[in-house]
Homo-oligomer: A and B are copies of this chain.
Amino acid sequence: MVVRLVVARCQVDYAGRLTAHLPMATRVLMIKADGSVLVHSDGGSYKPLNWMSPPCALREGSTEDGQVEWTVTGKTDDTLRILIEEVLHDSSHDLGVDPGLQKDGVEKHLQELLAEHPATLADGLTLVRREFPTAIGPVDLMCRDAEGLSVAVEIKRRGEIDGVEQLTRYLELLNRDPLLTGRGAVRGIFAAQAIKPQARVLAEDRGITCAVVDYDALRGMDDDAEHRLF
């Protein structure tokens, strides 16, 4: 339950899935309650220069010439060695338990909303099943259109080329299933909040329909939306 913050001139060496070395310099070390260690510089984004993920154990020792040395060992062979030349700051803080993060607006929500309102994607579209299983993974939504034809829907927050590839793979497999293709080939709809031009071109080239989804409008249609508001 305690975080320790250390600012120190240090040198860091990691050996595990790769080897990495940080020359001697001043950095911020954060040691969390589970013994995990983060080595931050004052730039970059949230990713530390080096780190050790929990579960792991921190041992504080010293080298022959009297320098402080931290050794962090992980679950596998991973080791992080921190040689400390000078400590500029060292403090510990009790944080208590964190209530955790609440997120809103990720793909899952979009899928839920579209599952409830499939007709926003195409007139007369009805839901057959969410997460329709195939040998290479689940199709986000399997639907049926007004003529009774099967329609596979792939949902992404941002529509990029990968998503079109994914839907193409599904369609390839689905169109081998006589149960689905009885009345005609399975169609594809690529739904996203925004679709990149490149992805749109590829989709249309493959006969896939693109649908830009208005998240806020969808949420407005959904009476249960208030549950997710705060």
A interface with B by C-beta (< 8 Å): 1-3, 5, 7, 17-23, 25-28, 30, 32-34, 36, 38, 40-51, 53-54, 88-89, 91, 93-106, 135-137, 157, 161, 165, 169, 198, 201-202, 230
The residue of chain B having its C-beta at the shortest distance from the C-beta of A31 within the complex is B42
Further pairs besides A21-B101, A32-B40, A42-B98: 19, Cβ < 8 Å: A5-B5, A17-B157, A18-B104, A19-B103, A19-B230, A21-B230, A22-B98, A22-B101, A23-B99, A25-B95, A25-B98, A26-B96, A28-B93, A30-B40, A33-B42, A33-B43, A46-B46, A89-B91, A165-B165
Q: A89-B91, A103-B18 are in contact. Are A1 and B42 (CB under 8 A)?
A: yes
- Is A46 touching B45 in the complex (CB atoms < 8 A)? no
What is the minimal beta-carbon distance from A99 to any residue of chain B, in angstroms? 4
**Residue among A41, A96, A102 with the most chain B CB within 10 A?**
A41
- Is A18 touching B106 in the complex (CB atoms < 8 A)? yes
Complexed CA–CA distance, A135 and B200 (Å): 11
Q: Which residues of B contact A41 (CB under 8 A)?
A: 95, 98
- Is A51 touching B42 in the complex (CB atoms < 8 A)? no
- Is A88 touching B99 in the complex (CB atoms < 8 A)? no
Q: Which residue in B34, B40, B135 is a CB contact (below 8 Å) of A43? A: B34
Number of copies: 2
The residue of chain B having its C-beta at the shortest distance from the C-beta of A161 within the complex is B136
- Is B43 touching A53 in the complex (CB atoms < 8 A)? no
Q: Which residue in B1, B27, B45 is a CB contact (below 8 Å) of A98? A: B27
Complexed CA–CA distance, A34 and B46 (Å): 12
- Is A169 touching B202 in the complex (CB atoms < 8 A)? yes
- Is A28 touching B95 in the complex (CB atoms < 8 A)? yes
Q: A88-B93, A89-B93, A93-B7 are in contact. Are A49 and B98 (CB under 8 A)?
A: yes
Q: Which residues of B contact A89 (CB under 8 A)?
A: 5, 91, 93
Complexed CA–CA distance, A3 and B6 (Å): 12
Q: List 7 A-B contacts (CB under 8 A).
A: A25-B96, A26-B96, A32-B40, A32-B42, A33-B42, A34-B42, A45-B51
What is the minimal beta-carbon distance from A56 to any residue of chain B, in angstroms? 10
